[in-house]
A and B are shown apart, each in its own frame.
Chain A
Amino acid sequence: ETGVTQSPTHLIKTRGQQVTLRCSSQSGHNTVSWYQQALGQGPQFIFQYYREEENGRGNFPPRFSGLQFPNYSSELNVNALELDDSALYLCASSSGTTRANVLTFGAGSRLTVL
């Protein structure tokens, strides 16, 4: 059973650029969530996708967008990058959207915005 894999592991962008982060969910999982973890902080919920539809969103602006594909993998896109977008971006998958479904996290993509 493969876990959650994320790519790239590290990347550097400049202000105003756009970035796409990718996530492959754990086998058998159909729900993907994205979190932003700034340095020294706990992860913050960005949004969740279930069966290719957004199924909940945290307090993030519209320039944070996502996609989920038929194989349940997912992308996080961030437009017009700002310095404060520098963070570790974590993807988590689960086997459903009920509160009892435990999230499995990937190792994250570390984004640095200069």
Chain B
Amino acid sequence: AQSVTQLDSQVPVFEEAPVELRCNYSSSVSVYLFWYVQYPNQGLQLLLKYLSGSTLVESINGFEAEFNKSQTSFHLRKPSVHISDTAEYFCAVMSNQAGTALIFGKGTTLSVSS
């Protein structure tokens, strides 16, 4: 069965510092990988996705993630965070069993302070 492990439940950082949110997955078949962000009292917003091709994917707001097949990881990084990046971040893998069902990790709370 597929699963996703987010290694850190909370990550506190100072503004303008770099950050890495770690995600590992388990799957015996090819996967599609996603990062979603959830701001307080809002739904999930797609941050970036890996479907195929280049293993480094980028979002429009400066985040990037690298698909590493040998380490089964899809870590999210940003070289310099802003206060507005404070949110819950979810890593997800797309199931190969039920349509386009997503399997989510438990989430990482990113707290950016000044």
Measured CB to CB, the residues of A under 8 A from B are 4, 31, 33, 35, 40-45, 48, 50, 55-58, 90, 92, 94, 97-108
User: Quick one: which of B51, B99, B105 contacts A55, CB cutoff 8 A?
Assistant: B99
User: Quick one: which of B6, B32, B43, B99 contacts A50, CB cutoff 8 A?
Assistant: B99
The docked-state distance in angstroms from the alpha carbon of A42 to that of B105 is 6
Given A42-B105, A56-B99, A58-B98, 16 other A-B contacts at CB below 8 A?
A31-B99, A41-B106, A42-B4, A42-B106, A44-B104, A45-B95, A45-B101, A48-B100, A48-B101, A56-B101, A90-B44, A97-B99, A100-B51, A102-B49, A103-B46, A103-B100
The docked-state distance in angstroms from the alpha carbon of A98 to that of B52 is 14
Residues of B within 8 A of A97 (CB): 99-100
Tell me how many residue pairs across A and B have CB atoms closer than 8 Å: 73
The docked-state distance in angstroms from the alpha carbon of A33 to that of B92 is 15
Q: How far apart are A112's CB and chain B's nearest CB, in angstroms?
A: 15
Query: Is the interface on chain B under 10, 10 to 19, 20 to 34, or 35 or more residues?
Result: 20 to 34
Residues of A within 8 A of B6 (CB): 42
The docked-state distance in angstroms from the alpha carbon of A104 to that of B43 is 9
Residues of A within 8 A of B43 (CB): 4, 90, 105-108
